[in-house]
């Protein structure tokens, strides 16, 4: 676990305590990447129907993957204080995880900018998971979206980060 600073600086607040978008204009543009991940737990029957393409709304996984990519591009419109960024890479993968049972959703986002892409990666997996739920809810209402997290990030003043999470596929 990382140590917290003793007196944290709240960069998204101005001197009067009002929310503000951080001024990154003086920061150097560097290559920044972020990888996020979540899991979507469901009944084995639901997972099987999705894998076979037997969901009432069509291709669940392709639609969820595309939704994740589109969501990453819209992050600044969804999260009030995020900067709009020129994203050079957005990869969203959805992998079967029979041990859950369910799917693991992973995103990797990359840019060359003054600020990082953690929120874009997290938004991608979140919206992909929500879309998976929407596409499959006719099969099962109890689908669970779990463990949305940042796995890693590179670039920027704060340096690199690697989560201590080992493997989301194995239920605990």
pLDDT at 17 over 70: yes
Q: Is 134 a catalytic residue?
A: yes
Question: Which of 23, 134, 160, 167 does the annotation list as catalytic?
Answer: 134
Q: Which residues contact 16 (CB under 8 A, 6 or more apart)?
A: none
Beta bridge partners of 76: none
pTM attached to this predicted model: 0.86
The domain at 31-162 falls in which architecture?
2-Layer Sandwich (3.30)
pLDDT tens by residue, 49-108:
999 999 999 999 999 999 999 999 999 999 988 999 999 999 999 999 999 999 999 999
Q: What is the CA radius of gyration of the chain?
A: 18
Name the residue ranges covered by the structural domains of the chain. Answer: 31-162
The maximal CA–CA distance of the chain, rounded, in angstroms, is 56
Helix ranges restricted to H, 53-117: 60-73, 75-78
pLDDT averaged over every residue in the chain: 88
Is residue 12 a known part of a binding site? no
pLDDT tens by residue, 137-148:
999 999 999 999
pLDDT at 96: 97
Structure tokens at 101: 């049972």
């Amino acid at each position: 676990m990382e140590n917290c600073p003793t007196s944290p600086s709240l960069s998204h607040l101005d001197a009067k305590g009002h929310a503000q978008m951080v001024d990154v204009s003086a920061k150097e543009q560097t290559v920044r990447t972020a990888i996020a991940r979540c899991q979507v737990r469901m009944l084995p029957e639901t997972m099987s129907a999705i894998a076979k393409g037997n969901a009432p709304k069509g291709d669940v996984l392709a639609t969820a993957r595309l939704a994740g990519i589109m969501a990453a591009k819209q992050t600044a419109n969804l999260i009030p204080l995020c900067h709009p960024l020129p994203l050079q890479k957005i990869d969203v993968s959805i992998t079967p995880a029979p041990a859950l049972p369910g799917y693991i959703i992973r995103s990797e986002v990359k840019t060359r900018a003054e600020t990082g892409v953690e929120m874009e990666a997290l938004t991608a997996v979140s919206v992909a998971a929500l879309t998976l739920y929407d596409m499959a809810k006719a099969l099962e209402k109890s689908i669970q979206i779990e463990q949305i997290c940042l796995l890693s990030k590179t670039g920027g003043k704060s340096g690199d980060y690697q989560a201590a999470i080992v493997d989301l596929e194995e239920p605990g």
